[in-house]
Amino acid sequence: MFMPDAIGFIGLGIMGSPMAANLVKAGFDVAGHTRSRAGLDRLAAAGGRPVTGLAEAVTGADVVITMLPDSPDVEQVILGPDGVLAHARPGTLLIDMSTIRPRTARAVAAAAADRGLRPLDAPVSGGEQGAVEGVLSIMVGGAAADFEAAGPVLSALGTTIVHVGPSGAGQTVKAANQLVVAGTIQLLAEAIVLLEASGVDAHAGLQVLAGGLAGSTVLDRKGAGMLARTFTPGFRSDLHHKDLGIMLDAAREAGAVVPVGALLGQLMAALRAQGDGGLDHTALLLATERMSGRTHD
């Protein structure tokens, strides 16, 4: 039976650092590599082994985890000339937890399988806080046996861990997730603007909505912040803009028509073009207010 012990972790950013720390805490031997000095220092502080070369992290690992910004980064780190595939031994579990295009995930998985690796795409939701607390939702694509084998590792990182289909399926579910989250935010933004422009107490209004069929986790967790115009991330609009691009690309490829999704892509692009890509994604409220000539700036 496969009992993973040595983990190579590539990408120690805002999400990757606390995830690697949780793996250390769970008893794994974690060798971590990233481009920034700060990331390596954080891993050392957490009790892991920072290494300066990717090869050092990957060679001899039972499990390699990648947590990178975007599709091209994953392609380069895994498929590149001195990348993961060049150093990992056959049988290694390769778990890419980045949010990337489903088709890139499928291409990476095919190349990894060719080398005898066991690839999983396992993007997460839950944000920095979920990463720190080890309560991420993890949607996993790949072979059932590999999902099984990854259980002890993923359990150290999240609480909702679901196998959703073959390679790429995890990324497709993540894309669907980002569609629904962006849309729910925008619906609340339009509701708030409608209430406030009509002279109605939006706080009381949202309270009623929360108690009925209009209720949502976004409203529960983010409604008060939206009313207070507190847009400290949380999850940056820039990243959600990237994710909506992935979602639209996946829909295009699959022949799925997503009219609201396409409009959301433009609204998030507007927020970004207006200079607010660094704000929390709930700042879609700002873009909606600007459209309505109701500016607070």
Q: Which of 247, 279, 283, 285 binds a copy of itself (CB under 8 A)?
A: 247
Quick check: 296 binds a copy of itself (CB under 8 A)? no
By CB under 8 A, the residues from 76 to 105 that bind a copy of itself are 102
Task: Give the total of residues touching a copy of itself (CB under 8 A).
Answer: 86
Rounded distance between C-alpha atoms, residue 157 and residue 7, angstroms: 13
Q: How far apart are CA 41 and CA 48, in angstroms?
A: 9
User: Cβ of residue 241: shortest distance to a copy of itself, in angstroms?
Assistant: 9
DSSP-derived 3-state class of residue 220: helix
**Two structure tokens written together for 165:** 């289909």
Indicate the residue among 44 and 224 with the shorter CB distance to a copy of itself.
224
Residues 128-187 that bind a copy of itself (CB under 8 A): 137, 139, 141, 160, 162-166, 168-169, 172-173, 175-177, 179-181, 183-184, 186-187
In angstroms, what is the minimal distance from the CB of 3 to a copy of itself?
26
- Residue 198: count other Cβ atoms within 10 Å of its Cβ: 9
Does 251 participate in binding a copy of itself (rule CB under 8 A)?
yes
CB of 36 to a copy of itself, least distance (A): 26
Q: Which C-beta is closer to a copy of itself: that of 42 or that of 272?
A: 272
Nearer to a copy of itself, 84 or 287 (CB): 287
Least distance in angstroms from the C-beta of 126 to a copy of itself? 6
Please state the closest distance from residue 45 (CB atom) to a copy of itself, in A: 29
Taking each helix axis from N to C end, the angle separating 169-197 and 102-114, rounded to the nearest 10 degrees, works out to 160
- Please give the helix or strand (H or E) that residue 161 lies within, else none: strand 158-165
Burial 33-67 (b: 16+ CB within 10 A, else e): bbeeeebbebbeebebbbbeebbbbbbebbbbbbb
Tell me the three state secondary structure of residue 72. helix
Residue 58 as a binder of a copy of itself (CB under 8 A): the answer is no
Catalytic residue among 25, 174, 222, 242, which? 174
Decide if 62 contacts 5 (C-beta within 8 A).
Answer: yes
Residues 255-274 that bind a copy of itself (CB under 8 A): 255-267, 269-270, 272-274
Q: Please, which residue, 69 or 215, has the CB nearer to a copy of itself?
A: 215
Dihedral-angle region of residue 91 (phi above 0 means left; psi in -120 to 50 means alpha; beta otherwise): left
Q: Round to whole Å and give the CA distance between 98 and 118.
A: 17
In the bound state with a copy of itself, the residue whose beta carbon lies nearer, of 120 and 139, is: 139
> Cα separation of 7 and 26, whole Å?
12
Known catalytic membership, residue 174: yes
Q: Single out the segment in contact with a copy of itself by CB under 8 A; choices: 11-19, 93-101, 110-118, 289-297.
A: 289-297
Q: Please identify, among the stretches 20-28, 63-71, 149-157, 288-296, the one whose residues bind a copy of itself according to the rule CB under 8 A.
A: 288-296
As a whole number of angstroms, the distance between CA 147 and CA 158 comes to 14
**Best CA proximity match to 83, nearest among 112, 62, 54, 51:** 54
Taking the complex as a whole, the smallest distance from the CB of residue 251 to a copy of itself amounts, in Å, to: 5
Question: Distance between CA 172 and CA 159 in Å, rounded?
Answer: 20
> Binding to a copy of itself (CB under 8 A): which residues in 183-242?
183-184, 186-188, 190-191, 193-195, 197-201, 204-205, 207-209, 211-218, 221
Residues labelled catalytic: 174
